[in-house]
């Protein structure tokens, strides 16, 4: 793929700004973009989880648990990657490949904001607790409670990230 096409694709995803007759530059962190991304995640991920819970095996829950174990031991730099992997592991059994692709794209877009959550706000510890609670609810196969918990988890993280982002702009 030519560089120009790659840059156009990054521009469509909101990651790059391409001013006319100027060099490309990385898009600034934007509260409106973060809000939109997380609003979409807060709908898409619980939907996937609703379909995943009836299909999820003990082995798949074990995979998510192992990722969470690793996340709790890893350094803060690994938080975004392991957080996304944890969510993906729980959602994978949903049997909705387009939904999972959409969620993966949203996670890719939100990854750069996770630095704020992990480092600036020390959110990782809270996230670990919420992930453990979510795992326990998934083990009970309580889809409505798990979906509600996941939506709350995403919305809470979003609000904290927005607060930190707006505070950084002041």
pLDDT tens per residue across all 170 residues of the chain? 677 777 677 667 666 677 777 787 777 778 899 999 999 999 999 999 999 999 999 999 999 999 999 999 998 888 888 999 999 999 999 999 999 999 999 998 888 887 766 666 677 888 999 999 999 999 999 999 999 999 999 999 999 888 888 776 66
Residues ≥6 apart with Cβ < 8 Å to 3: none
Burial of 77-111, coded b for 16+ CB within 10 Å and e otherwise, reads eebbbbbbbbbbbbbbbbebeebbebbeebbebbe
Q: Contact at 8 Å (CB) between 42 and 151?
A: yes
CATH architecture designation of domain 30-169: Up-down Bundle (1.20)
Q: With residue 116 as reference, give the H or E element that holds it.
A: none
Q: With residue 3 as reference, give the H or E element that holds it.
A: helix 3-12
State residue 88's pLDDT score. Answer: 97
Task: Report d(CA 166, CA 15) in Å as an integer.
Answer: 19
The CA–CA distances, whole Å, from 43 to 90, 96, 99, 137 equal 15, 14, 11, 19
Q: Both tokens of residue 162?
A: 């927005």
Q: Structure pTM? A: 0.85
State residue 3's pLDDT score. Answer: 74
State residue 76's pLDDT score. Answer: 81
């Amino acid at each position: 793929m030519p560089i120009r096409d790659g840059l156009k694709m990054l521009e469509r995803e909101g990651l790059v700004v391409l001013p006319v007759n100027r060099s490309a530059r990385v898009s600034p962190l934007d509260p409106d973009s973060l809000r939109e991304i997380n609003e979409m995640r807060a709908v898409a991920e619980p939907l996937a989880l609703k379909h995943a819970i009836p299909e999820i095996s003990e082995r798949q829950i074990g995979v998510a648990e192992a990722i969470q174990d690793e996340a709790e031991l890893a350094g803060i730099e690994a938080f975004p990657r392991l957080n996304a992997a944890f969510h993906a592991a729980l959602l994978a059994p949903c049997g909705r490949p387009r939904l999972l692709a959409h969620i993966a794209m949203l996670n890719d877009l939100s990854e750069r904001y996770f630095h704020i959550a992990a480092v600036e706000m020390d959110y990782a510890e809270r996230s670990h607790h919420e992930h453990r609670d979510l795992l326990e609810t998934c083990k009970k196969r309580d889809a409505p409670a798990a979906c509600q918990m996941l939506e709350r988890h995403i919305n809470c993280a979003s609000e904290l990230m927005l607060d930190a982002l707006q505070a950084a702009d002041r």
